[in-house]
Amino acid sequence: LDISRGKIKPPAWIMNGADDDPLKLLRDKCTALSVMEIETILKTGEAALSALEMERFKKMGDRRKASYLGARFCCKNVSRVLSGNDRTTPSSNITTTCSDNVRPCCPSTTGEPSFPCSVSHDRRFVITVSSETPVGVDVEEIGERAMKSRKVYMREEEKRLVEHSSLKAMEGSTLVWTVKEAVAKALGITLFAAWKEVEVKEVGRDASIIHIGGRPYRTLHCIVDNHLFTLFNTAWKV
């Protein structure tokens, strides 16, 4: 979705296409996936917002506006993919927030039922995914933030698991954080509830095993330039 008229080029891993796609593992498991770099988003992109989206956009600060625009662009792109690659419907006619103007959605432009979707962003990336079953995605930069708050979201068993894994401490801690964020979105529960109800049992660079209410599930991961993307789907029971 080029809103810069060619003035700002996406990074090489996007321009090169699917043959060099570091998110291929996640993309292959989604009905649709769209990702953008926030710094490529121009303020003039607000022309693509619907009336409902613009209502919320106007109340935001500049930094929040950029990530909000990115999320809307990604959701609109996913909507087009789910609508048979629709490229004719004006972007401003596609509203990608629910009636509460908070939760994201990726509506079909053809009137077909919409699939579940999930949105996430960090300081660099924004991503939207959609699937036939409830799905959650999270992206976080690997760094000190996850380490400093481990006592809040990690169980003692999870700390030991990370310490004895092949992952570095910051990477492993960020992985646990993103897993619980993604599950919270897929299940429609609070992040605090996910911290308590989700237990990470195995960690890996590409996939991990978690328990939710004692039932095992799989999560998937990709790392792009030190940013960790995690995907969870309620259908991925082990």
**Whether pLDDT at 142 is above 90:** yes
Starting from the edge strand earliest in sequence, which strands make up the sheet with 198-202, in order? 135-141, 227-237, 215-224, 207-212, 198-202
Percent of the chain predicted with pLDDT > 90? 85
Say what the pTM is. 0.90
Token readout for 72 is 């809307």
pLDDT level of residue 11 (50, 70, 90 thresholds): low
Q: Where are the beta strands (DSSP E) in 122-225?
A: 125-130, 135-141, 198-202, 207-212, 215-224
Q: What is the pLDDT of residue 121?
A: 97
CA pair distance 207, 198, nearest whole angstrom: 16
